[in-house]
Structure formats: C-alpha cells, structure tokens
Amino acid sequence: MEPKRIGIIGVGQIGKHHLDEYAKLEGVQVVAAADVNEQELGRVADQYGIAHRYTDFRELLARDDIEAVDVCLHNNFHAPMTIAALRAGKHVYCEKPIAGSYADGKAMLECAEETGRMLHIQIATLYSKETKAAKALIDDGKLGKLYHARSTGFRRRGRPYVDGYGAPSFVRKEVSAGGALFDMGIYHISQIVYLLGLPQVERVSGKTYQETDMDEARRETSGYNVEELGLGWCASPAERRWTLSRLGRSSLTALKEAALSARRAVCACRRSVIMRR
C-alpha cells in the first residue's frame, strides 16, 4: 500500500511534536514542510528527512502529490490556512483549538462540507482510555441520568514564553486569540461536551483574572496580554450543566468562544470519522 503523503505547515514547537509522532507511524510520509522561518525550516526538514521546503505555504498546497495537510500554527492562523488547504483539495488535520473564534471554526467546518474534504482537530483526550471507558459507561446507562459535570485543570508552571519556552506570540491575543481555555482548557471542554452527547450551549458565565507574577522583562518583550485564571459555567436547554476552572489564561468572551468552538471541533472530528468509513 502506498503511504499517505502529508505536508505540514508550521515547524515550531507543536509542529516538531507532530513530526515526532509521524515518525512512529507506518504508512505515513511527510514529504513537504512550510514555515516563514527559513533557517528553522531547513534545520527541521534536515532532521526529519523532509525533501521539499517552502516559505510560502501556497506553494506547498499547489503540489498534487499531497493528500493531506497538517496545520501547526497559532490559533488565529488556523482558519485561513485550513480553508486554503481544503479548497486546494487536501484533507486537513489541524492542531487544537479549531480556531481563534467560533465564526472561524464554523467557516472551517462549512468549507470541509462544501469541498467534501475531511477536517480533523487534534483533541487527543477524546481518544484516551479514560474517555473511552467513561463513554462506554454512559452509553450503557451505568451512570444514570447525567445533569452536571465538572472539569478542573491546574498548571503550576510552564506558561509559554514567560516561563522559558515557546514564542512570545503565544501569549498575545492578536495571534493566539485567548489563553488557558484555548491552550489547555479546550481539552477539558471538548471532553465534557463529547461525554454529555454534544449538548447545545444555551448560557455561559465566567470570570477571569491575571494575578500570577512573572519576570517583568519577559512580560515587556512578549507583549503578554492574556489572563491567567478562567472560571466558567455553561448550561444547555436540557439543563445539563458543566463547569470549568482552568489556571492559565482566558477571558469571558474566550470562554464563550471556546465552549462553542469545542463543540464544533468535536463535530468536525466525528464527521471526519464518518466520512472515513
């Protein structure tokens, strides 16, 4: 069987992680990579044996020997790159969250439906053994009626850039759209939404804070403008409720966007599986 030929857009921190995972898989070949940082692109391509390198992603999409594209960029770049790839006839695997806003995520899903291409969002927790076990118990009625769910996440250290890793753009709203809810909270929200059967979001409330100290030089050089604690509560018409607390970065608008985007992302993942069948 011929290997699936993939192109990757973005060879930064998350792109390298994806390349590590591809190296473990049989039947997959990353044949092209694109990144605006030409020096880093060359270094990473040499490391992973990627022959074709582009500083313009459009040149990668123009190749007719690539079946799918992996988008590994900051959140606000997910939609334009994904939509361009779908319109170029490629299937797309996109890093979480689906996008920087609900509107962008919706546009991505609609484009996938319009073009007949598969769109899948990286939400690894949906495929964990714990999630599978919980879903089986719920579907079998072992847990009775579900009317409330709670998820909490806490990161004591390891904030992007200000704690020593990642690019400064990671902590700027104009690039990343939001904070903890988009970065890590999306895993919690998507998992709850999936386990509760994709309920419609009716009401959202929340509160955010930024109280954690950081190195002032890194705060200044990064333009850090995202909050670090997000607390949220959501309800559906069926009065299924879920709450989320995430130490990190967020905003109330981000909470609304994240909850809706998470539902879109789960829908995209489910539809890609159905289309694959």
* More confident: 208 or 90: 90
Q: At what angle do helices 102-115 and 252-276 cross, to 10 degrees?
A: 20
Contact 11, 40 (CB under 8 A): yes
73: nearest Cα among 176, 1, 143: 176
Domain 4-123 sits in CATH at 3.40.50.720
Residue 257 has pLDDT above 60, yes or no: no
Residue 275 carries which DSSP code? H
Under the banding of pLDDT at 50, 70 and 90, the label for residue 272 is low
- Give the residue range(s) of CATH 3.30.360.10 domains in the chain: 125-269
Model pTM score: 0.85
Domain topology for 125-269? Dihydrodipicolinate Reductase; domain 2 (3.30.360)
Residue 271 has pLDDT above 80, yes or no: no
Contact 209, 157 (CB under 8 A): no
Tell me the C-alpha distance between 104 and 192, whole Å: 22
- Give the residue range(s) of CATH 3.40.50.720 domains in the chain: 4-123
Q: Quote the pLDDT of residue 244.
A: 57
